[in-house]
Amino acid sequence: MKKFLLILVALFFFSFNSTQVLTDNKLYEKIDLFGEVIEKIKDEYVDEVNQSEMMDSAINGLLQSLDPYSAYMTPDLFKEMQTDTQGEFGGLGIEIGMESGLVKVIAPIDDTPAAKAGIKAGDYIVKIGNEQVQGKSLMEAVKLMRGPVGTSIDLTIRRKNIKKPIIFKIKRKIIEIQSVNSEILGKNKNLGYIRLKSFNENSDKQLLKIVKDFEKNLDIKGYILDLRNNPGGLLTKAINITDYFLDDGEIVSTKGRKAAETRKFFARKGDETDGKPLIVLINNGSASASEIFAGALKDHKRAIILGESSYGKGSVQSVIPLRNGGGMRLTISKYYLPSGSSISEVGVTPDIIVEEKGNDFKINSEKDNQLNYALKLFNS
C-alpha cells in the first residue's frame, strides 16, 4: 500500500509545476490527508475493499465535483461510449445527466424501448434493477442500464407531481440512432416537418439532403423543426445545421481557459430555405446542441421558438483518452448565444409557451398539442 501511495503522490506532483508544488503547502496537506484516509480504509473498514475500484471512484468523484457533466470512464465504459456518437449502441435509449447527486433523464430517444415504455424528460431514476442509484456515478448508472440484448431491467423513477415511484420494465435492444426524419404536413401539404433527434456524425448531411429535396421538388410554404427530446450531440454538427437556416451572423461563441477553446462561429452566406418561415419546437429534453440551434435562431429572429423551456446545458465537454485505456469527459468551455447570454441552468425560453398536455401525449401524433399549435400558426 505504501508503494501505491508513493506512486499516487508522484502523480499529483507531476500534475503541477515545481513552483506550484513548493509554494502550495495546502496541496501537500491534502495529498497527505488523502493517503491517510486510504490507509484507514485499508486497516479499519468493516469489509475488504477492491483498491482499483476505490481509486476509480476517487478519480470520478474528483471530476464530478467540478460539474454534473465531467466524469471518469473505465476502459470498459470508454469503449462502450465510443459507439454513442457513431449511430448504434446497446441499451434502453435514454440520455441521462446528474443533478444534485441524482440521475436525471435529459431525454428518451424516439422509438427506443425507454420512449415506448413511457420514460419522460425530467424523470429521476432512483433504482436500476435492485441497485439504488443515489451515490453512484453517471457512468456507473449507464453501465447498470446496459446489458445483453433481449434482457429486461426494471427502472424505478420519480416524476414531478406524482407522489409514488413508478416502475418501468424495459427490454434492452440495439439502439439504432436515426437522427433525422421528415414528412410533409399541413392542410395543403406544403409544410416541411423535420424531426431532429440528435446531433450525431451524419445529422447535418441527412438534414441538408431533406431540405434540398423539399426545396427542389415541392412547393414548401415553411418549415417546422422539431428538437423536442433532442439531448444534443456534436457541436460542429449543431453549427452546420444552424448555418443552413441563417444568411449571416454569429451562431455561437465558446469561452474557455485556453485560447483554442475561445472561439466564435459565424454563418456563411446563403440560407438553404431562402428565408422561409420557420418554427422550432423545444421542450425540457432539448439540451446542449439543441439549445445552440434554437437560441441562435431566436436571437436572430429567424424562427419562432415554441413549446417549453429547454434543459439549460451551456457547456462543452471534450472526451480525453487516458493511458490506461479509459477516458474522461471534461468540461473545457462554456458557450454563449449571439446575444452574449448563457443558457447554463436557464435554458432557452420559447417565444410561445405551449406545455405538453395529457397522459397520452406523443410527439408527432394527433395528441401532440404543441405540433398542432405550430400547424395552426401556419394556417392562420
**Alpha helices (H) along the chain:** 2-14, 18-23, 25-44, 51-64, 75-81, 113-117, 138-145, 203-217, 235-243, 289-299, 369-379
* CA atoms of 183 and 212, how far apart (whole Å): 14
Cα→Cα distances 29→26, 35, 36, 48, Å = 5, 10, 10, 27
Which of 157, 158, 148 lies closest to 92 in space, CA to CA?
148
Residues classed as catalytic: 288, 299, 313
* CA atoms of 151 and 51, how far apart (whole Å): 31
Collapsed DSSP state (helix, strand, coil) of residue 106: strand
Give the rounded distance of the alpha carbon of 95 from its chain centre.
Answer: 6
Strand ranges (DSSP E) for 116-233? 124-128, 131-132, 152-158, 166-171, 173-176, 180-185, 191-196, 222-226
* CA atoms of 285 and 356, how far apart (whole Å): 12
H helix or E strand, kind and range, residue 257: none
Give the end-to-end CA distance of the chain in Å, rounded to a whole number.
74
List the grid coordinates of 190: 406544403
364 half-sphere exposure, CB direction, 13 A CA radius: 19
